[in-house]
Structure 1
Amino acid sequence: MSSKVNIKGILKAHISTLYDAKSAKVDDDEKKLDPWDVFWFFIFPGVVVTFLFLFIDLKHDKIINAISISLSIFVGLLLNLLVLISAQLKKETRESLKQKNPSITDKDLELQLKKNYLIKELYSNISYSIIIAVLSLVVVFIGYILSEIYIPGISIKASLIPNFLVYYLYLNLLLTLFMILKRTYLILESEFK
């Protein structure tokens, strides 16, 4: 795959944000994945969507239509947010912050480092969300094509698998948006203190 469209780095950066923030330090490069975060962001959506498909008769066409409209809006909004966040990104180290402001206290220094790290993580989460939203729209399109194809001998609609994927990706996206909202709140809250 061309390096221009390779998204592995974005996916790795997003997954690396799923760590236990209480036990990790800002300078720690080897943060451990939090099993609960992995559960909530990757396993829980699969369980919920499986339950929906097995026990609830959904009107997929209307739901998929609403999801695709909201995903289109999310992509535009997230791209704008990504531009705003990129303006806030600063590659500052402990030493560069002390050099800029020699009278900075250790507490303020730690707060600034945490804020900068949180902005970097937020950038990764927003980038991941854009990928998920675009991928979901592609799956919606594939599902639409499959729903128009009749396959003899198959009693289920061929679009059920894409529909399952769209619901899963959409729930994953919603959970990630809550994480983005919380991180944005924490960054802005630190500005008001």
Structure 2
Amino acid sequence: MSSKINVKEIFDKHHQTIQYPNKSLSKKDKQQFFLYPIIGSIIALITIGKPNSDMINIFAVCLSIFIGLFLNLLVLILSFTESKTKIKDKKNRAELLEQTFYNLSYTIVISLIALGILFLTTISIFPSNWNLQIPFSRLGIDFNDYFLNVNYLITNIIAITFYFVFIKVIVTLLMIVKRIFNLFIEEIKSTNEENKIDIKDYEDYD
């Protein structure tokens, strides 16, 4: 793949932000970023099933809004790098900015992937008369052979994949919001210290 559109580095950099230096993940991170999205996608498939046309429109609008939001947040991150406020812990702040930048880039990419997967749920890939035979009788099970429609199977696999990616977008968004929150807190604290603002006077002014 051309290096101009190869997003592998974006995925690698994002995964590094949730890994320990030895490239391992904590049990909590494994649950939050992998186990819970898998469980959530299975539950969504069971309770909701394949997205219908109304749900597809809602998901498409949500993802489009997310992509626009993430692009704006990238600009916000760049504004943080140009901030003239004196920050005490510049090293940790720079690291947090870098990680947030990688997270945002990753989320934009997987949001685009989710839109592509969502489109696939609307089409029938194989002829409608294609069926997959499950030979219960040959397996010694006292059931008639079952014929599973191939399109039905593929559509459900695509649907559960979409739910998984969509939940990953939400989880990563929550992480990004928390990191931007921390950046703003540090920025506000540093600004207050720089201007020697008395907290009590500030509250009285309000």
2:167 paired with 1:189: no
2:54 paired with 1:86: no
Match of 1:66 among 30, 42, 58: 58
SS in 2 for 1:146: coil
Shift of 1:2: 0.9
CA distance in 2, matches of 1:6, 1:14: 14
Output the TM-score relative to the length of structure 2: 0.72
SS in 2 for 1:5: coil
Match of 2:120 among 108, 117, 142: 142
Sequence identity percentage: 30
Per the alignment, residue 16 of structure 1 pairs with 16
Q: Deviations over 1:35-67 (max 9, x none)?
A: 32122112210112113323x244621333211
CA distance in 2, matches of 1:19, 1:59: 33
Measured at CA, do residues 115 and 49 of structure 1 come closer, stay the same or move farther in structure 2, by a change above 3 Å?
same
CA distance in 2, matches of 1:3, 1:59: 35
- Post-superposition, which runs of at least 4 consecutive aligned residues in structure 1 deviate over 4 A? 29-32
Count of aligned pairs: 167
CA distance in 1, matches of 2:18, 2:129: 41
- Give the aligned CA root-mean-square deviation in angstroms: 2.4
Measured at CA, do residues 149 and 82 of structure 1 come closer, stay the same or move farther in structure 2, by a change above 3 Å?
farther
Per the alignment, residue 53 of structure 1 pairs with 45
Shift of 1:74: 0.9
Measured at CA, do residues 129 and 57 of structure 1 come closer, stay the same or move farther in structure 2, by a change above 3 Å?
closer
On the 8 A contact 1:10/1:128 being kept in 2, the answer is yes
Per the alignment, residue 6 of structure 2 pairs with 6
2:111 paired with 1:115: no
2:34 paired with 1:42: yes
Unaligned runs of 5+ in 2: 132-147, 190-206
CA distance in 2, matches of 1:187, 1:10: 22
Unaligned runs of 5+ in 1: 21-28, 91-103
Per the alignment, residue 163 of structure 2 pairs with 167
CA distance in 2, matches of 1:129, 1:112: 26
On the 8 A contact 1:13/1:124 being kept in 2, the answer is yes
Measured at CA, do residues 57 and 145 of structure 1 come closer, stay the same or move farther in structure 2, by a change above 3 Å?
closer
Amino acid at match of 1:169: V
Output the TM-score relative to the length of structure 1: 0.76
CA distance in 1, matches of 2:168, 2:129: 31
On the 8 A contact 1:18/1:38 being kept in 2, the answer is no
Correspondence 1:123-138 to 2 at 5 A: 123-138=101-116
Structure of higher CA gyration radius: 2
Shift of 1:151: 4.3
